[in-house]
Structure 1
């Protein structure tokens, strides 16, 4: 029997030049103006999606590789998604918005006050995707760059401090008694004096308390320390894993164990697997798309190399396609996950660059679970199967552009609704209520 799933939209390229490099650039939407994103947000809300999550990277990377990131707009420029959020709230009534935030960029008191403001203004629809990118450290002071695990330690201290400030208004502190003229009882505000390893600040917070809960916390961490952070703090976990029953169940078990270890219930965390579907009109069209991807020409490989160069902060476009990757090619700061995605299970010492890029170009069929190309009915089959394995929901991956939204959802939404997988309307109690509604 079908069961409802949670659905979100992952704006994976961040608040950047949408449409660049695609034919739909000629729709003439201006990526620096809010109307493009407002229109897309309205369509997602109408479709029954609970939130849009916006990726961000505040840095353009190391000085030596900036050109790689901006040349084709794969890694930048990017504007601040936190400042886009109010425009999306204005355009919708129930859709949640989860911008990415980096603890290095916001002092806890400022963060607590700004996030509380947006939570109130949005009707409790704010979420925060907390990331611990250490490559941006040079933009926020002259302190040495933290290690991977230390960055999570800082993020945990940061979030604990923010929550202490949010809770500095004790029960009964907000009076609002018009008969007596008393707005608040200052004796019930808790003093906050934080002196930690990374932050020092005092409270209480100059913002009123929440009536329906604090902003939702999301996180994408997949390392041991990242999973521990999620278990302690996250309401939404962004999951990237092979969509096999064994892999899905194992990933969920890790998150649930991390939650229990930190005194929380597994049901406190909504685990959502990120998927980038290619919805086509027929199985025959899906077969054609997959077959065409098996033998990419050099022009296609160059585009993939450009994109990977941005992620890896390493110029792959100057390398010989038919030679192995040079030893010591990647700097120490380059994400090991990004390197693994490029190399896969091939031998880095012998496999040519062409083999790595060709593997990335290949698409697979939804029907045999080798990829995400298929019909709306086939995609719905996969979502139902995930539900049978206990899955909570999926995060569809794509630009926040009306063309992308409709190309993905026009045929899919009716199928998902008929099968009882996608809700008809969102909760009016805010984002947290939507995530806890079934």
Structure 2
């Protein structure tokens, strides 16, 4: 029998207009208020999910594509997810909350103090989704934009610095002895003097040490440098890879090798494969959805082009659908992984229409060509992934109650009956839940 799996939800729109572009918008939730997020967080906790990860980009993008990104709310507006986190903690008792953070946006000392504060307030349930987006660099300074690998180098220095501050209170530094009226022993506080390539700061940190582990570090990315960062630093790795056995096992092996190379154990990293299922009430309904997606019209392709244009910060809507896609149109700041997800295995000579059509096509869970199917069929996939050694899955979508219930109402009971989804949480916060099975 497959062991229980970890489940997370990726809030794909970030702290932005939940439900925009869908009929569920007429439920009249205000996305700028906490209630819609709190209701969704309570639903995830009732379902037994380990964590919710809140996507973010602090930038509206390049001046040339701002209108493209905001017109349909694909790329913005977005409010700061770190400031949403306390409201989600208030509404739940066990759910881990993981806002996205960018090392370019705040200094290590400030970050270490803010994160420590939230971690204590939440009962050790904070996680940090560390991203290395460089496209927003101009908002934070006039320094030249970093390249892909150097951005990871900066992130590693940033995180190393934060951890040195978190550990600037040695064992025994916190005394809290009423009888002697001694709260802390200053001789056990480390001074910390960091002078690095990207940051310079002194400690110790003006915040208490942790009793149940540090905030969980989450990272995306499949490049060699990205996996190296995960191997050295991450508690959770977000995986995007084809869900067949060889691909899953190979990806996991690469993450585990990166961890071992940094002196860590493979089991120190929980790997979650990202999936966006369309759960249907019957196999017949799933077949109808898949058949309808096979021949998208130009209007459907343009809708996909708008979404891809936002993600890639490149206007695909102005291009000829029937000409090959020139990859030189993508700037250096655009993720290579994002470009690869667009072109797939079709090659650079394929017309844009072919790439967009492939993205429009849906496939069936039952034959592993896609993610449309019944709750039982999705549970079959989760079991199969578990048989291959996987740790769990990351579902994604808006954080709108309608979206969550459409996905989870039938799925949760089936996953629980199969022993795949937790019924109880561990004591000790997010890190404890990640290590509970």
Tell me which residue corresponds to 1:398: 397
CA distance in 1, matches of 2:194, 2:62: 33
Post-superposition offset of 1:327: 6.8
CA distance in 2, matches of 1:335, 1:190: 39
SS at 1:103 equivalent: coil
The count of aligned residue pairs is: 437
Q: 1:228 to 1:306 in 2, by over 3 A?
A: same
SS at 1:316 equivalent: coil
Task: Determine whether 1:9 maps to 2:9.
Answer: yes
Post-superposition offset of 1:371: 0.5
CA distance in 2, matches of 1:305, 1:153: 33
SS at 2:175 equivalent: strand
Deviations 1:109-151 (A, max 9, x none): 0000000000000000000000111111111111111111111
Query: 5+ unaligned residues in a row in structure 2: which ranges?
Result: none
Tell me which residue corresponds to 1:279: 279
Task: Determine whether 1:67 maps to 2:34.
Answer: no
Q: 1:322 to 1:202 in 2, by over 3 A?
A: same
Give the 5 Å matches for 1:228-307. Answer: 228-307=228-307
Task: Determine whether 1:82 maps to 2:82.
Answer: yes
Tell me which residue corresponds to 2:201: 201
Deviations 1:304-352 (A, max 9, x none): 1110111122222222323333574333333222222222222433x33
Tell me which residue corresponds to 2:227: 227
CA distance in 2, matches of 1:434, 1:163: 21
Tell me which residue corresponds to 2:407: 408
Tell me which residue corresponds to 2:152: 152
SS at 2:129 equivalent: strand
CA distance in 2, matches of 1:324, 1:69: 24
The TM-score, its normalising length taken from structure 2, stands at 0.98
Post-superposition offset of 1:245: 0.5
Task: Determine whether 1:380 maps to 2:360.
Answer: no
Q: Which runs of 4+ in 1 moved over 4 A?
A: none
Tell me which residue corresponds to 2:56: 56
Q: 1:23 to 1:43 in 2, by over 3 A?
A: same
Tell me which residue corresponds to 1:43: 43
Tell me which residue corresponds to 2:217: 217
Post-superposition offset of 1:422: 0.4
Question: Do 2:426 and 2:433's aligned partners in 1 also have CA atoms closer than 8 Å?
Answer: yes
CA distance in 2, matches of 1:331, 1:149: 15
CA distance in 1, matches of 2:314, 2:150: 25
Post-superposition offset of 1:78: 0.7
Query: 5+ unaligned residues in a row in structure 1: which ranges?
Result: none
Post-superposition offset of 1:106: 1.1
CA distance in 1, matches of 2:107, 2:311: 28
SS at 2:65 equivalent: helix
Tell me which residue corresponds to 2:423: 424
Tell me which residue corresponds to 1:176: 176
The TM-score, its normalising length taken from structure 1, stands at 0.98
